[in-house]
Copies of this chain bind each other. A is one copy, B any other.
Amino acid sequence: MNRLGAVEAVRKLQRRELTAVQLVRACFARIEQRENTVHAWTALQKQAALDRAEELDRGALRGPLHGLPIGVKDLFDTVDLPTRYGSPIYDRHRPGLDAASVALCRNAGAIVIGKTVTTEFATYQAGPTRNPRNEAYTPGGSSSGSAAAVADDMVPFALGSQTAGSIIRPASYCGVVGYKPTFGGIPRAGVKSLAESLDTVGGFARSVPDVALFSSVMMRDTRMLDLTYEDKPRVGMYRSLQWRHAQAETKEAFAQAAAILSRAGARVEEIPLPPEHCVLVQLHSDIMAFEASQALAYERTEHAVQLSPKLQAILESGAQISAEQHINNLARAAESRARVDAWFQDYDVLLAPSASGEAPFADLGTGDPQFSRAWTLFGLPCINLPFATGPQGLPVGLQLVGPRHQDHRMLAIAAWIHARLLTANSPDIGASDMWPRG
Q: Which residues in A have some Cβ–Cβ distance to B below 8 Å?
A: 79, 90, 93-104, 106-107, 184, 187-190, 192-193, 196-197, 219-223, 291, 294-302, 319, 322-324, 327, 330-331, 405
Contacts and interface: CB of A to CB of B under 8 A. Distances in A.
Contact of A184 (B106, B197, B297): B197
How many copies of the shown chain assemble into the complex?
A: 2
Among A90, A187, A302: residue with most chain B CB under 10 A: A187
Nearest to A185: B323
B187 A291 contact: yes
B220 A294 contact: yes
Contacts of A187: 193, 196, 291, 294-295, 297
A302 B103 contact: yes
Contacts of A100: 193, 294-298
Contacts of A319: 220
A285 to B, nearest CB: 18
12 contacts: A90-B97, A97-B298, A99-B298, A100-B193, A104-B294, A104-B301, A184-B196, A189-B192, A189-B294, A189-B297, A189-B298, A190-B298
B323 A220 contact: yes
Contacts of A327: 405
B219 A323 contact: yes
A197 B94 CA distance: 27
A189 B193 contact: yes
B324 A103 contact: no
Given A98-B298, A187-B297, A189-B196, 15 more contacts: A97-B298, A101-B297, A103-B300, A106-B301, A107-B301, A184-B197, A189-B193, A189-B298, A190-B298, A220-B322, A221-B322, A222-B322, A223-B324, A327-B405, A331-B405
Contacts of A297: 98, 100-101, 103-104, 107, 187, 189
Contact of A96 (B93, B220, B291): B93
A94 B331 CA distance: 38
A289 B294 CA distance: 28
Query: Top 5 nearest A-B pairs by Cβ distance?
Result: A221-B323, A189-B193, A103-B298, A107-B301, A187-B294
A95 B98 contact: no
